[in-house]
Amino acid sequence: MYGLKLDWMETPEKPYYTLEDYTGPEGRWCPGCGDFAVLAAAQRLCRDEQLAPEKTVFVSGIGCSSRFPHYMKTYGFHGLHGRALPVACGIRARRPDLNVFVATGDGDCCSIGTAHWIHAIRYNMKMVVMMFDNNVYGLTKNQTSPTSNVGLRTYTHPRGNVVSPLDPLQVTLGVAGASFVAQTVDFNPPHLLATLTAAFHHPGFAFIRILQRCPHYTAKIFDPLQQDPSQMALLTHPDGIDGGEGLSRVFPNRVEHDPSDIRQARALVDGERGVPVGLLYRNPDLPRYDEASAAGLAATRADRENLLEDQFDWFSI
Q: How many domains is the chain partitioned into structurally?
A: 1
For residue 5, the model assigns a pLDDT of: 55
Residue 316 domain-assigned?
no
Residue 149 domain-assigned?
yes
pLDDT band at 12 (very low <50, low <70, confident <90, very high): low
* Residue 278, C-beta contacts closer than 8 angstroms, at least 6 positions apart: 182, 183, 184, 191, 195, 234, 235, 236, 240, 241, 257
Which CATH number characterizes residue 176's domain?
Answer: 3.40.50.970
Residue 272 domain-assigned?
yes
- Distances from the Cα of 307 to the Cα of 56, 226, 293, angstroms: 31, 59, 16
Q: Is the pLDDT of residue 298 over 90?
A: no
Reported as a single tens digit per residue, the pLDDT across 210-258 is 999 999 999 899 999 999 999 999 999 999 998 877 787 889 999 999 9
Residue 303 domain-assigned?
no
pLDDT band at 303 (very low <50, low <70, confident <90, very high): confident
3-state secondary structure of 127: strand
Reported as a single tens digit per residue, the pLDDT across 46-67 is 999 999 999 999 999 999 999 9
Residue 302 domain-assigned?
no
Runs of H (alpha helix) within 95-167: 106-107, 114-123
pLDDT band at 7 (very low <50, low <70, confident <90, very high): low
Q: Domain limits at 275?
A: 16-288
- Distances from the Cα of 88 to the Cα of 26, 53, 125, 167, 223, angstroms: 24, 17, 9, 23, 34
pLDDT band at 2 (very low <50, low <70, confident <90, very high): very low
Residue 317 domain-assigned?
no
For residue 244, the model assigns a pLDDT of: 79
Runs of H (alpha helix) within 79-174: 84-94, 106-107, 114-123, 168-173
Backbone angles phi, psi at 174, to 5 degrees: -90, -5
Reported as a single tens digit per residue, the pLDDT across 170-186 is 999 999 999 999 999 99
3-state secondary structure 298-312: CCCHHHHHHHHHHHH
Handedness of CA 233, 234, 235, 241 (dihedral sign): positive
Residue 309 domain-assigned?
no
For residue 212, the model assigns a pLDDT of: 95
- Pairing mode of beta strands 143-144, 136-137: antiparallel
Residue 298 domain-assigned?
no
For residue 98, the model assigns a pLDDT of: 97
